[in-house]
Amino acid sequence: MITALSRHRRAAAALFHALVVAAALGAALLLRFEFTLDPRSVRMLALALPVTLAVKLAVFRGFALRDLPWRYIGLEGVTRMVAGNAAASLAMAPLLVWQVGSGFAWSIYPLDFLLCLALMAGTRLAVRIASEPGHRFEPGRRCEPGCRCEPGCRCEPSHRCEPGRGCEPRRGLETGRGAGAPGRRILIYGAGRAGITLLSEIREHPELEYQVVGFLDDNPQKRHLLLRGARVWGGRATLATIVQRERVDEVLLALPRAPGVEIEAILRRCRAARVAARRVPLLAEMIDDRTLMRQIREVRVEDLLGRPPVQLEESAIRAGLAGRVVLVTGAGGSIGGELCRQMARYQPAAIVGLDQSEAALYQIDREMRERFPRTVFRAELGSIQNRRRLDELFEAHRPHAVYHAAAYKHVPLMEAHLFEAIENNILGTHQVARAAAAGGAETVVLVSSDKAVRPVNIMGATKRMAELVCLAAGQAEPRMRFLAVRFGNVLGSSGSVIPLFRRQIAAGGPLTVTHPEMRRFLMTIAEAAQLVLQAAAMGAGGEVFALNMGEPVRILDLARRMIRLSGLEPDFDIRIEFSGIRPGEKLCEELSAYEENTVPTPHAQIRVFTGKGVAREALAHCLQDLRHAAETRDAAGAVLSLKELIPEYNPSAFVLERALGEPAQRALARAV
């Protein structure tokens, strides 16, 4: 099948070349005889055309011109066309003298050469221009090859655009030689835009001493193409053969949009061929102006989730962020830090990062200054529970929008620290909402959790209460937009299972999984932050958005994938043990409660829920009770207050037995 498709593509290219040769020769004769062909000239054309076709098509085949791509034609392809046409013209000249005679004017040869070359190259250039999507000038963002960001500005892959300055060369790569040993032979998997850009960047940096031996691509129509001088050898089935024949040292996966199941299948082929594999980052991770070569990284378990890439309506996001001051609470955390990084793409006037952890705040401050030097970042130390500190921040910076990511999120830990969860997740959110209203903010976005749905733990109940606090604040302040965004577990965050599994694999195992059927909705940090920004851009206020998390992933399968990514085999090299469900955990989380109605949004990956709200008076009374319970360490009163406002809350046995005691259990049973 692949061979047949490749043959048809080559036959189509040969037919195109035949038409170009015939058109060029006829046009050359017309130009030479001033657009007047007498019978003698027509006879010469009839005699010359078969010879010209035979010679040129043979030479073009020898120069592999029929294997040149249409959409990605570059300098190497044009050079090959010039050489092929020059060789063909030289080869056909003596044959035409023998066939036609001396009456065939010598001036026709250069005309035929120029016209044939112009038609061949011009047609491919037109196809490339027509097939490339429109490009917008976005300061600081990488430009695609051939785009024109500003009048007179021709951007190259190694350049970046700066506002008011056109293009300037990028800084040199900061890639060491560890992975790029002298003469390291590289096979690029993916012959699309990312793969060709990667090839160009490798050639621009000969100091890396990479040698690209060619491409692999699963699109059968690309087989045998020559892309910038590198051959597309075939698809996935040929990987082992090409690795052995070309002595490949490493496979670079240039597939930023590939689903996880495809990446996993390619990795299996690489393991079978005993060749290392790395990849270009996911689209969601490409947030700064570094070249692709500087972003090549190891394949992570996040790449195997099988989730579609995030599609953003960037104009709407930019309208809410560009030129505005944004406050991010919990900026030193996983989600808060990623929100800061993603926001930097949209040129905010300033990003104010608030966190109560000195070390975490220091790290994000340094990172933002190094990676985004043109973005003003203000690191502010403080707690969301301190109203005076919040008022100081709003007075000093006057933020237009608040992204509230500060929260305690560790489920078993919060089961044992009931009052701290209430003070931070509920009362802290209330302080943020009040300070934002008093400080003139326009938008408050709460980062919530799927554990707020029919909560069975303190963390989920306090996050549901935080949602209700924000919705009530929106009713009290109609000029402002208050909204919440729910999503599931974030891979790679400080509290996720991924760092734990990595440490256990490094120690030789065993890996500990709580239950064979434990499942979780999983999302990468980058796509979670991007969808939070997208939901904030489309929200009118009063919504609780939920991100499309796809299908829940079995944690046992995740553990097995991580073991295989390390080059080991589960249950053979590393054992997996089951430790039992921890306090407050569900076997599978939910993203919507039974009482809530799902409403679609214009964005396919975001849905909105409109469930039962609460009266502001009831919420105010509950907040007062919770504050009193936290101050007096009244665990029973705290749980009863949560249960009163969140009837679907089902406290765990751990909370009932260890935190409340037998009398409180009986009181709670009567309340239920």
Q: Where is pLDDT greater, at 222 or 610?
A: 222
Q: What is the DSSP letter of 657?
A: I
Phi, psi of 449 (to 5 degrees): -145, 155
How far from 545 is each of 131, 246, 305, 328, 532, CA to CA, in Å?
36, 51, 22, 19, 9
Model confidence pLDDT, tens digit, residues 355-374: 999 999 999 999 999 999 99
Burial of residue 606, with CB atoms counted within 10 A of its CB: 0-12 exposed, 13-18 middle, 19 or more buried: buried
Q: Of 600, 605, 614, whose CA–CA distance to 644 is shortest?
A: 614
Q: Where is pLDDT greater, at 620 or 663?
A: 620
Res. 330 pLDDT band, cuts 50 70 90: very high
Counting every residue written for the chain, the total comes to 672
What pLDDT score was predicted for residue 150? 41
Rounded-to-10 torsion of CA 432, 434, 440, 444: 50
Q: Token digits for 36?
A: 């007047």
The amino acid sitting at 92 is M
Chain mean pLDDT for the chain: 80
Compute the 3-state secondary structure of the chain and give helix, strand, coil in percent, each to the nearest 5.
Answer: 50, 15, 35
Give the pairing of strands 511-513 and 576-578. parallel
What pLDDT score was predicted for residue 434? 96
CB distance 235 to 327 below 8 Å:
no
23 contact partners, CB below 8 Å, separation of at least 6: 115, 119
50 contact partners, CB below 8 Å, separation of at least 6: none
The Cα 100–Cα 45 span in angstroms is 9
Question: Region 172-189: what's the mean pLDDT?
Answer: 56
The Cα 583–Cα 659 span in angstroms is 12
Give the DSSP letter string of 177-219: SSSS-TTEEEEEE--SHHHHHHHHHHHH-GGG-EEEEEEE-S-
Question: Region 509-531: what's the mean pLDDT?
Answer: 84
57-73 as b/e: b if 16+ CB within 10 A: bebbbebebbbbbbebb
The Cα 17–Cα 15 span in angstroms is 5
Dihedral sign for Cα atoms in the order 446, 450, 451, 453: positive
Which of 3.40.640.10, 3.40.50.1220, 3.30.300.130, 3.40.50.720 is the CATH number of 184-299? 3.40.50.720
Q: What percent of the chain has pLDDT over 90?
A: 29
pLDDT at 302 over 70: no
Q: Is the peptide bond before 510 cis (omega within 30 degrees of 0)?
A: yes
Can 451 be counted among the known catalytic residues? yes
Q: Where is pLDDT greater, at 494 or 206?
A: 206
Model confidence pLDDT, tens digit, residues 66-124: 777 766 666 667 788 888 888 888 888 787 777 776 666 777 778 888 888 888 888 87
142 bridge partner residues: 160
Q: At what angle do helices 387-397 and 428-438 cross, to 10 degrees?
A: 30
CB distance 306 to 261 below 8 Å:
yes
- End-to-end CA gap in the chain: 66
The Cα 442–Cα 436 span in angstroms is 8
What pLDDT score was predicted for residue 151? 39
Phi-psi region of 645 (alpha: psi -120 to 50; beta: other; left: phi over 0): alpha
Contacts 24+ apart (CB under 8 A), 339-342: 339/403, 339/405, 339/529, 339/532, 339/533, 340/364, 340/368, 340/377, 341/287, 341/288, 341/367, 341/368, 341/371, 341/372, 341/529, 342/287, 342/526, 342/529, 342/530, 342/533
Range with lowest mean pLDDT among 6-15, 238-247, 448-457, 591-600: 591-600
How far from 403 is each of 71, 218, 400, CA to CA, in Å?
42, 42, 10
Q: Token digits for 489?
A: 């577990």
Cβ-based neighbour number of residue 186 at 10 Å = 23
The Cα 631–Cα 427 span in angstroms is 12
Q: What percent of the chain has pLDDT over 70?
A: 78
Phi, psi of 317 (to 5 degrees): -65, -45
Q: Of 546, 451, 560, whose CA–CA distance to 497 is shortest?
A: 560
Q: Of 648, 623, 651, whose CA–CA distance to 636 is shortest?
A: 651
107 contact partners, CB below 8 Å, separation of at least 6: 32
Q: Where is pLDDT greater, at 330 or 526?
A: 330
Q: Is the whole-model pTM more than 0.95?
A: no
pLDDT at 293 over 80: no
pLDDT at 233 over 70: yes
The Cα 261–Cα 306 span in angstroms is 6
117 contact partners, CB below 8 Å, separation of at least 6: 81, 82, 85
Model confidence pLDDT, tens digit, residues 560-604: 888 887 777 888 888 998 988 877 676 776 655 434 556 778 887
Put the strands of the sheet holding 276-279 in their side by side order: 210-216, 184-189, 250-253, 276-279, 297-298
CB distance 462 to 422 below 8 Å:
yes
Question: Region 500-514: what's the mean pLDDT?
Answer: 86
What pLDDT score was predicted for residue 463? 95
Q: Where are the domains of the chain?
A: 2-131, 184-299, 314-490+522-550+590-613, 617-671
Superfamily of domain 314-490+522-550+590-613: NAD(P)-binding Rossmann-like Domain (3.40.50.720)
Burial of residue 277, with CB atoms counted within 10 A of its CB: 0-12 exposed, 13-18 middle, 19 or more buried: buried
Q: Which of 165-174, 275-284, 549-558 has the highest mean pLDDT?
A: 549-558
Q: At what angle do helices 458-476 and 616-632 cross, to 10 degrees?
A: 140
Q: Token digits for 394?
A: 């709003």
The Cα 359–Cα 59 span in angstroms is 67
pLDDT at 209 over 90: no
Question: Region 404-421: what's the mean pLDDT?
Answer: 92
pLDDT at 167 over 70: no
The Cα 129–Cα 565 span in angstroms is 40
Q: Of 153, 154, 214, whose CA–CA distance to 145 is shortest?
A: 154
220 bridge partner residues: none
- Asked if domains 184-299 and 314-490+522-550+590-613 share a fold, the reply is yes
Q: Token digits for 633?
A: 């360490």
Annotated catalytic residue, options 56, 222, 451, 463: 451
Strands (E) located in 489-642: 489-491, 511-513, 519-520, 522-524, 544-547, 553-554, 576-578, 597-600, 606-610
Q: Which of 70-79, 277-286, 380-389 has the highest mean pLDDT?
A: 380-389
Q: Is the peptide bond before 478 cis (omega within 30 degrees of 0)?
A: no
pLDDT at 425 over 60: yes
Element (H, E) at 534: helix 525-538
Q: Where is pLDDT greater, at 80 or 463?
A: 463
